[in-house]
Amino acid sequence: MIRRLFYTLAFMHYFYGVWYDLNYVKLPGLKPTSGIPLKGRLRFLTFWDMLLQGFFFAICLLNDFIGTNENVPKRIPLIRKIKDLILASLAFPLANFVALTFWGLYLVDRELIFPKALDPYFPTWLNHVMHTNIAVFILIELFTSFRKYPSRKQGIGILVAFMAVYLVWIHIIHSYTGMWVYPILEVLNLPLRIVFFAVLLGFTIALYILGERLNGLVWRKQLKDLKKA
């Protein structure tokens, strides 16, 4: 019952955050752009991650009703396989990537990631929904629900493919508008942008491995039992 309440809270938390952002947050200069739906929100990785986290916790809730949360199930339902794969390959690394890179750049120079001029338009609580709570909720899920990680090749392959799609997307936006999604890209020349993207990709892969290691430590006994089953 507690797990089900948590999943419901997490899903509604993201649903309300997305709904409020789309309907009440009017950022200056963020207007609908041809080919960029949802009032231009889809240019931001944060928004992609919000949609992903909301979808993931909806899957968690559905699994709680029609799947299984057993540590070593005799038969693993498809919905449980999907849940475990999404957390490992996307939900955990992306949530922590968004949280750590946002607050890291914010502490160095917030103008590079979230200019102070946006404060009157973007409520503080929504900022934490998008850039803080995502990491908190996914860590709670990792520590309270057992899962078997996919092969590293499969998990990292899905993650890299996702990041590659987003990288192509922001370049498409730049080609249409002449502007970069994030202010930091405006101050980097081409070689530095390549290095910047490579470092961020490496950091994302490191977060995947961190999640895999944490899962192995937290659920060591269950993983051993699963191998014996």
Residue-level pLDDT, tens digit, the chain, 229 residues:
889 999 999 999 999 999 999 889 887 765 555 455 545 788 889 999 999 999 999 999 999 999 888 876 678 899 999 999 999 999 999 999 999 999 998 999 888 788 888 888 889 999 999 999 999 999 999 999 999 899 999 999 999 999 999 999 999 888 888 888 888 888 889 999 999 999 999 999 999 999 999 999 999 988 887 777 6
Q: What's the rounded Cα separation, in Å, for the pair 75 and 132?
A: 35
Range of the domain at 176: 2-228
CA 66 vs CA 8, 72, 91, 134, 186: distances in Å: 15, 16, 21, 25, 48
Name the nearest CA neighbour of 87 among 211, 203, 210, 1.
211
* Distance of alpha carbon 58 from alpha carbon 116, whole angstroms: 34
Residue type at position 26? K
The number of beta carbons lying within 10 Å of the beta carbon of residue 199 is 10
* Contact indicator for 110, 131 with CB cutoff of 8 Å: no
Please choose, from the candidates 92, 89, 219, the residue with its C-alpha nearest in 3D space to the C-alpha of residue 227.
Answer: 219
User: How many domains is the chain partitioned into structurally?
Assistant: 1
Contacts of 197 (CB under 8 A, 6+ apart): 167
What is the b/e burial string over 95-115, where b = at least 16 CB atoms within 10 angstroms of the residue's CB? bbbbbebbbebeeeebeebbe
pTM across the whole model: 0.90
